[in-house]
Structure 1
Amino acid sequence: MLENIGLIVASFTAIYGVNEWRRQLKGRREYELAEEVLTLVYDCRDRLRSIRSPFSHTGEGSTRKADTNETPEQTELLNRAYIVFERYEQHREVFAELFALRYRFMAVFGKEAAEPLEKLRQSLNEVFVSANMLPTYWLRQGRVQMGEEEFERHLKEMHEHESVFWGTFSERDHFNEKIEGLVSEIESVCSKIIRPEPVWQRCRELMARRDNG
């Protein structure tokens, strides 16, 4: 009987040890993933600011392959819009590394938690869309005769694309505010794993909820 009890105790001890090892392994993997994603998000945020910087130097955008039928004016405007693509190439690997993790992030933390990463990818694409659209507006500006209503629509759409294409310093940058909001959402998910709140604080919150009803 004692041998049987000893065997049962040993079995339970072994099972508990395996389960505890699995919990620790799972916790370590979650921590490493959260830390890696959050670090890359901070890095990509700063790189996106650099890509959208309104300051450029001579020769930026000139790596674009120009069409033989372009006028010098067209080449200048098209090269100006190409600057963001040229800059992105310098940072492509970091963005690719972050976006490649979003499916793993989704599998570990849930689909809802990974949505800000997808929105961040979509926001980067918005910059590229605006870069492709702006030369058309710039080339029409002051060169194509338009009615008052059409001209107002033209200006509105052009300014909307420019607000995505260029970052600003003298006024509110709504695109950057959106990016900061997405960063905060990702930070909120990752911080719960990287910097969990103290047990005493959690207990106090639970007690407060109980007292409030």
Structure 2
Amino acid sequence: MTAGAIVAIFGINAWRKEIQYKRNSELAEKSLFLIYEARTAIKAIRNSFSSGIEYASRKINDDEDPKAKRALDMSYVVFSRIDKQSELFNEIRTTRQRCRVLFGEAELECFDDVFDIIREIQIATRKLARRYWPKNPEILSPEKKEAFYDEMYALEDIIWETTDDEISKKCNALSKKQKNHFENLFLHQPHIKNLEGCMKNSTSRFSQIFLANLKKSPKTGRGPGEIGKTKSKRVLD
């Protein structure tokens, strides 16, 4: 084999690695962007303020009393808001499958967390609409009435955003978790020097985030799996 052929082979291999890195980094960047979008969408779904416009299109049954109407109107608002985000959630499902193929099962956690939160909101809304909002707790004994309100408020804390509630904490953790997942994934790539070279030539925002963290990570005393724990300033909040 001639020297020229050897050089050509190395050049092709380097080109393939750069193409593969570009494809993977763009998917990682899109995934992170979608997680931010999902966090914003969930916040909009859980907004406790609504107007009559949001449930004006609901078909009203003839036998609805005021309590039943209010319960159905409120649940309709939640489900219609989720339905308005269907395009985003479908894109997240598609991207999840691509990540599954390229990165493996370990990188799907944040996507699954998004859909777990949506399911939790849907289940809580159904329970409230059927078991709590249409009922009159004033006819219950003091003990049962107290339990009724405790259960109802706990479910309402799931569907409506309040100060520092558990769903909000989960949402705020999503983007940080996803970013750390991909930083650790790319740091464990073989031929890290070649990978850094690809990143420097990339316009991907994810590449710039990764390189910023990589440069500020100590050369010794910190394992690759801890890159996400560096105290460097984050490009994304």
Q: CA deviation at 1:148?
A: 4.5
Instruction: Give the secondary structure class of the aligned counterpart of 1:60.
Output: helix
- Does the CA contact (< 8 Å) of 2:67 and 2:133 recur in 1? no
1:208 and 2:203 matched: no
- Does the CA contact (< 8 Å) of 1:60 and 1:80 recur in 2? no
What TM-score do the two structures reach when normalised by structure 1? 0.82
Q: Alpha-carbon deviations, 1:189-209, whole Å to 9, x = none? A: 34566122356545xx34235
1:35 and 2:29 matched: yes
Quote the residue 1:197 is aligned against: 211
Instruction: Give the secondary structure class of the aligned counterpart of 1:55.
Output: coil
Equivalent residue for 1:138, pick from 109, 121, 133: 133
Quote the residue 1:4 is aligned against: none
Q: CA deviation at 1:29?
A: 0.6
Name the larger-Rg structure: 1
Q: Which runs of 5+ in 2 are unaligned?
A: 187-205, 224-237
- Does the CA contact (< 8 Å) of 2:67 and 2:135 recur in 1? no
- Seq. identity, %: 26
CA distance in 1, matches of 2:134, 2:29: 46
1:93 and 2:76 matched: no
- Does the CA contact (< 8 Å) of 2:68 and 2:133 recur in 1? no
- Does the CA contact (< 8 Å) of 1:53 and 1:167 recur in 2? yes
Q: Which runs of 5+ in 1 are unaligned?
A: 1-6
- Does the CA contact (< 8 Å) of 1:82 and 1:131 recur in 2? no
Quote the residue 1:186 is aligned against: 178
CA distance in 1, matches of 2:62, 2:69: 10
Quote the residue 2:235 is aligned against: none
Distance change in 2, residues 1:45/1:73 (3 Å): same
What TM-score do the two structures reach when normalised by structure 2? 0.74
Mapping for residues 40-119 of structure 1, pairs under 5 Å: 40-119=34-113
1:158 and 2:124 matched: no
Distance change in 2, residues 1:208/1:121 (3 Å): same
- Does the CA contact (< 8 Å) of 1:85 and 1:128 recur in 2? yes
Q: Which amino acid aligns with 1:176?
A: S
Q: Alpha-carbon deviations, 1:50-76, whole Å to 9, x = none? A: 111011112322323333432233122
Q: CA deviation at 1:24?
A: 0.5
Q: Which amino acid aligns with 2:74?
A: R
Distance change in 2, residues 1:207/1:101 (3 Å): same
- Does the CA contact (< 8 Å) of 2:38 and 2:114 recur in 1? no
Instruction: Give the secondary structure class of the aligned counterpart of 1:43.
Output: helix
Q: Which amino acid aligns with 1:175?
A: I
Mapping for residues 3-42 of structure 1, pairs under 5 Å: 7-42=1-36
CA distance in 1, matches of 2:28, 2:215: 24
Distance change in 2, residues 1:75/1:209 (3 Å): closer
Q: Which amino acid aligns with 2:178?
A: I
- Does the CA contact (< 8 Å) of 1:61 and 1:81 recur in 2? no
Distance change in 2, residues 1:51/1:209 (3 Å): closer
